[in-house]
Each structure stands twice: as C-alpha cells, then as structure tokens.
A and B are shown apart, each in its own frame.
Chain A
C-alpha cells in the first residue's frame, strides 16, 4: 500500500508526536469498544499490482459477449469513438478534478461544460441545457418530477414504445413522488397514438426515435397539452438528421448521451442529457456553467444558478443530484467537436442507411417482416417465424440482437430488435442475412 500512502514510520512518529498521542489506536478511542471491529473485514490479503491486473483481466476475458457483433441497441449504440476522445479524457487535470466549485482553478472544466451546454442546445433546439445527469433514464424521470412541480399535475403520459429499462426507472421515481403513470399506446406503424389528455396531466413523454426505432410525428402534440409539459427523450445522434424537438414546442428534452463516444461499459457510466426552454430554467436540476468576468474584466466561467441546487436550497432544491456524469459529458463534447456538423450527419446517415439496407434484405426472406410500417432511423423490429430460434442462431454465428424477451414488456411478440451503426460492415450484413436464409 506504500504506493498510495506515503507515510513512513518516521513520518508517523512525527505526526503522532505533534498530535500529542503515542499510537494510531489513540486516534480511534472515540469509537466505543463494543463497536470497534478487530478481526478481518473482507478476508482478503494485500496484493501487488500485477496480480490484480491478471485477476481482473481474466474476468474481462470471461465476458464473451464482446466477441459478438453488436446488432444490439435498445437505447445504447455501437458508434465508433475516435481515439482522440479517450486520450483527452485521460488528462489527469480533467479526470481527477472535483466539481468546479472553485472556479479560478476549474476553468478547464467550466469551459467544456459551457461548450457542452451549447452543443446540446444546438442539437435539441432548446434554450438551456445542464451539464449532465446520470443517464437518459434518470434524466427522463427527473423531467417528469420537474413537470409535476411546474404544473401540480399528478399523471404523466408515457409511450408504451419506450425502452423497458428506462420505463422501469421512470416508474420507480413516479411511485416515490406519488405520480400516476398512464400508457400511451402505439399503432400499426409503431408510433404513439395520443387520444386525449386527461385532467391533471403534468406531462406527455415522446421518445424520438422510440424503442422500436420508429420516428415519431411530433407535430401538434404540444398544442393538445394545455399547461402540461411536452417532454421528448432523444437519441442525440439521430438529431443530426431529425428536426430538433424545440421546433415542435418541446418544454424539456432529455436523452441518453451514450451514442456520443461513450463505451457500453455494461451499462454504466452513461450520460443523461437535460435541456429545457428558458422559462423552465429555474426548475431545471443539475449543474450549469455560466459565463462572466473576473476582477480585471477578463472572460471566465463559474457554476451558475446554484440556488436551485441541494447544497443551498436543501429540501426545496429542484433535485437531489450532486455528483453527475461529468466525464462522460466531456467525452460527448470532444466527440461532437471531433465530428462537427457534417461528421455527425454522416454517422447518422450511414447508420440509417445500413439499417434500411439490412431491413430490405431481411424483408425479402420468407417468413420475416418488419413489425411496424412507420419510418425508422437505425433500428427496426423484425418479426420472425421463430424469434427465439432466430436470436439463438444469430448468436451462434457471432451476432447479438435485442432478444424477444426485451420486446415483450412493450407488447411485441415473436420478434427481435436489430440496430445498426456506421460501424457495421457489408460482410457483417451478409453474415446476418445468410444466417436467416438458413445457410451458415
């Protein structure tokens, strides 16, 4: 442990003497004897670095899922993250810093936060954005809480075509806050069908694209809502080619930022996006960087509007969030800056092109069809004669898809989910098709 704790026996003696005690144990006398724990805790011996590396490396090797080609999406997508992203994240000054409360020593963090906020506003068509939430699911749940506080409404309308993983989190938060969750069904085109807005609705959620990959028609929804908020949950990559939700009157736009250069990481850490119209600024959760000037009139950045946050407003805060997902937001900032407008559009278009190419070829196979007729982005639901069997055969051939069990909670039977990104090669598409053709 000497490698992390630099106190030599001589240092320890010197410090104890300055404190006026003779032994380290004397510093723990405030823990009463019956509470003092003497024996082993974890039962583990100390190890050296090479041992730990080997041990953990073997664990990594036994996760054979990474050997499969991921045609698996469901909210997280296999886009390529340029090397430059990981390298910038490795700068110790950035990743070993705390929250930038002391602005004069944190201009690096505060500047990229400001850049990130700008980029998210540009993509979503919103006025303001915070600097991150934990993930897309909790960001959406917090948007619902925000709508509940803003309107006092106690029912939220949630599309059935929402990721079950995300839905589960929204349900838990709503139960805690006493908000009723009402499902909005989808039609044969896979898109949501909003009929009426019940009395006491605090918000309507739309997912763009939705869990089935379908592109929702967001027109006219805000107009039906009265004072309830219109919340749109997005895939940020898709926003390179889909109209910004702000154009459709969205009040809050949230999303999962993982597609922006962040690895799967077995589902975490992820990146929650949260953007809103100006009028909701003071209801927004999370940290925000703001531009100001220093004592000499030079431009600089500080954490702005902290009075919304828990460390000041305590039980009246807009949220309890403190630690967020800053490093992932930095990854997204660098990713978006690296791609630029045309690069991001190319990623989006190439992903969509591959998806449509594969879908077309699969539809030609007897017994296979797309479950929904609506327009879709980079993901589609494929109805199969034997969905379980198809998923199994694909896996044996080295391909992972969204299994039928992941679609059943949304009421889809006998189908698999297929997602593509710009990384999927012609050979991989050929392999996919050949498996379903019965070859291979």
Chain B
C-alpha cells in the first residue's frame, strides 16, 4: 500500500501558509543554537490534488458503518446521524477555547449541563462527570473513586480487591490494575451469569467492589442483578457497571435502581457518535450519592439562568481530563437524545433487542449457541463444529459477502466465539442477507473448506500475516 510519502515531489505543498516577514535564518537565530533544529523534519511533499486523491483512495480501502452492516459485538456500530456532524462543526463550539471564562462559554456549558442532566436520568443516578474521554477512561475514573472512598473511610488498602466475572471486557481488569487493585476473577454459571455461590465465597472485607457488564458480554441480562448488588453492598463493597451494553435496555431499566454505585456510558456506542477509526469516544460516569463528593472537578452548575464552573468539592479525586472531556462528542450525543426523546430511546432498545434475537433465532439453527435462550442486544455463537474451519476463517469469509465480521474470540469463556450485535439501525433485508451469508459459509466449510480457510478473496488485500508483523515489527518508514 503506497503511503503519502510515496506521492508528490520535493518542493510541493498542499497548504498555503503566510510566510514569515523575515528570513528563516534570521528567525532561527531567536532560538539558542543548541536548541535549534538543524534539519527540517522529513514530511511528505505533495500538492493538494495529490493529497486529496491519496486519502480518498485510502478511504476506499476502508469499511465503515456508512459502507455496510457492521455487527461487531460489544461495539454497538449503529448509524451515525449526519446532523450531529454538522452541529459539532458549528463555530460557536468548534472554535471555543476551553480557557475562556464561563461567561464567554455559556452555550457550551449549557450543552454539558443538559447532557449531564439527561444522562443522570437515563442512569437513574444523582451525580455525573463528563470528563472521561472513553469507556476505559471512565473505568479508570471509577476505580480512582473507589480508592478515594475507601481511603477516606480508612479501609484502603485493606480493601484492595476488585471482583470481575470471567466474561469481562479486558479494559476492566486493566483499569483496576492501574489503580493498584488486585483483580479476582469470578466464574460464570452454565447460564453465563454470575455464580452467586462463588460471589458469596469471594466477598470478604478485602473486597472494594465488583465490576459488572450489564447485560453481560454474552448478551445475557443478569436476572439476579439486584441480589448481586445487594450481596456486594452487604459485604461493604461498591458496585461498578460497565455501560458498554446500555443500548439493550435504554429507557427500560435504570442502573441506579439495579444497585449501581458507578455506571459509565459509552457515548460512541449507545448515543450514536462515530467511532472515527478507533476514537475519539466519551465515557461519562454517573455515580450514587455515596461517591458524588469524590467526582472530578470542576462541575458545571446552573445558578438562576447562568451556567458556571464549581470547584466546591474538597474531597475530589482531581481532574482526569485537562478540560471538560470530549466536548464535541458529548454535543453529538446531546443532539441524538434531543431528537429521539423518551419514546425514541425506548425504540432504540426495542429495535436492538429485536434484531439481535431475530438473528439469534435464525443462526442458532446452523451454528452452536453455547448460552441459549433470550438475548439482549447481542449474542455469542461458537464457530466450533465446522471441521478445521475456525472462527477466524468465518470472519474473513464474511468479508467476501460484503459484511464486516462480528467480534471474534471474545468473550474468552466461549471457544471460537463469534459475537454478533446488529444494532437497531439495520433493515430487515440486510439482516436476512447476513443470515444467508452465514448459512452459505457453514455449507462451504463442509463442502469446500479451503475457500473459507483462504478467505478473504475479494478485499483490497488477502489475509495478512500478523505473525510476521509481530516478529519483525515495522512500525514506521525508515
């Protein structure tokens, strides 16, 4: 694949920049000799048409939600409304420096305040911070709150363990470890839910809390969730809910009522903001009254008709973001909530769960479904039982049928996992076409396995050698 460095010619430029008035040498003399760069950085030299064509060509090698069906489990790859992109580019927001006074930032502060209010209601929890820049950043913030809470009560480091179901996202243990918590894994039951007996056994006065994904990463709603949170609270611990899967119960149940002390949102999942090829996202964190005193600062408050920043929280953990989090992502989420309203939010969860169960009902006839029964917004198949065709092969073959593959090999408790999350934004015809492709791949696996094992055949590149990339890493041009 040609890079931008392969284009252009020396001396070309794609941007017009006002030249300095004085010569370069004269200006460079303002910099002490030892700190002066002696040679220009090696950057591409291209004209604007070449630049546009290169990145247009790259975009055509890519697959996004705008390209087609993207049933990537646990990622909620729903359609990203175009309106939100326009709003995020309004000069009154995009051009606003965060160091300006509150008086000069009223519109932006209002947007933050309104989104905070809406998210608190959706979580059913009394306090929120919009600082976390991603889901994992929200988790880290939550773990910092946990440490602070127990430290203030004189129970840290005695309480230094965090319980995690074995089906948890990898970010959960990594976030807990960043704050020095010891991770204790809890086994799942044969139904894929938290094993209450194991939980009871693990709960002691060293446990700071539990991190749960609701519904869990198998797409199963923990029907004993209230009992789980009660047990943890009784043992003196706190409960963290990973909100990656909120799309499945939006407007139909409130984490606060389930007993959550901490709940993180993924605005780039549930609230339709684009994933950008990996980010940015946003991971606002709602908390119970117990933890509100420790939230990051500053807080946006409304006094009369004026929005201002409040620093009135002496026990705060401090900042986790230099400003107000990913504001332009927050803004997109606010626009989405405003457009949908309560009725729309419920239609989102209805549509997401309906589509997932539809696919589950169709696909469980062809593929193994290790944890059977009703699912929420996603479900996990196993690619086992197709001879020596593996899940990775199914995933690659799906590309030839024009689909992005589901999440593969996660959660870890399912062998050869294929985690399918259709979201609410796909037409029935697309869901049917996906089912059709999966059935054909299963047939191919029996009749012409090499076609599947050598897939993809129609993508810009064939199957890539990841082992070579790891053995001799080439991470930049020389």
Contact = CB atoms under 8 A, between A and B. Distances in A.
A/B: CB atoms within 8 Å of each other: yes
Contacts of B314: none
A281 B325 CA distance: 28
Interface string B441-455: 000000000000010
Given A7-B354, A243-B37, 15 more contacts: A5-B424, A37-B124, A84-B48, A88-B59, A93-B62, A97-B277, A104-B456, A109-B278, A137-B322, A264-B96, A288-B475, A323-B133, A324-B279, A328-B276, A353-B21
B319 A98 contact: no
Nearest to B103: A64
Among all A-B residue pairs, the 4 with the closest Cβ atoms? A267-B323, A60-B92, A92-B66, A267-B98
B17 A35 contact: no
Given A15-B354, A168-B318, A266 B327 contact: yes
A198 interface: no
Interface in B377-420: 395-396, 399, 404-405, 410
B268 interface: yes
Interface string B466-478: 1011100111110
Contact of B323 (A82, A178, A268, A330): A268
Nearest to A21: B357
A62 B103 CA distance: 10
B278 A5 contact: no
Nearest to B57: A108
A266 B96 contact: yes
A352 to B, nearest CB: 6
B464 A340 contact: no
A312 B171 CA distance: 10
A291 B24 contact: no
Interface stretch (A69-77, A222-230, A362-370, A381-389): A69-77
A44 B344 CA distance: 10
Interface in B179-202: 179-180, 183
Given A65-B104, A108-B59, A169-B322, A337 B14 contact: yes
B284 interface: no
Nearest to A425: B18
Contact of B99 (A52, A53, A406): A406
Contact of B51 (A72, A131, A312, A338): A338
Contact of A117 (B12, B64, B425, B476): B476
B35 A242 contact: yes
A94 B96 contact: no
Given A63-B93, A102-B395, A243-B36, A29 B374 contact: yes
Contact of B225 (A35, A84, A131, A165): A35
Interface string A1-30: 101111100011011101110001001111
Contacts of A66: 91-92, 95-96
B100 A46 contact: no
A62 B102 CA distance: 11
B35 A326 contact: no
A132 B279 contact: yes
A127 B225 CA distance: 48
Given A1-B347, A177-B179, A267-B323, A326 B94 contact: no
Given A65-B97, A138-B137, A338-B14, A118 B5 contact: yes
Contacts of B347: 1, 5
B147 to A, nearest CB: 6
Contact of A339 (B13, B101, B337): B13
Nearest to B180: A178
Interface in B336-389: 337-345, 347-348, 350-351, 353-355, 357-358, 360-362, 374, 376
A350 B456 CA distance: 50
Given A175-B317, A240-B37, A265-B94, A19 B357 contact: yes
Chain B interface extent, by class: 35 or more
10 contacts: A4-B79, A7-B427, A27-B374, A37-B124, A65-B97, A82-B15, A137-B322, A310-B136, A323-B283, A346-B19
Nearest to B75: A98
Contact of A300 (B1, B80, B93, B334): B1
Nearest to A28: B252
A290 B341 CA distance: 44
Contact of B17 (A62, A65, A239, A350): A350
**Tier of interface size on chain A:** 35 or more
Contacts of A112: 55, 58
B321 A138 contact: yes
A59 B97 contact: no
Nearest to B45: A340
Contacts of A301: 1, 464
A331 to B, nearest CB: 10
Contacts of B228: none
A150 interface: no
A35 B257 contact: yes
Contacts of B100: 65, 68, 72, 400
B93 A350 contact: no
B9 to A, nearest CB: 11
B286 to A, nearest CB: 13
A100 to B, nearest CB: 7
Interface string B242-264: 00000001011110011000000
Interface in B122-146: 122, 124, 133-137, 139-140, 143-144
A19 B59 CA distance: 38
A31 B221 contact: yes
Interface string A90-128: 111111111110111111110110110111011100011
Contacts of B301: none
A371 interface: no
Interface in A299-356: 299-302, 304-305, 307, 309-317, 319-328, 330, 333-347, 349-350, 352-353, 356
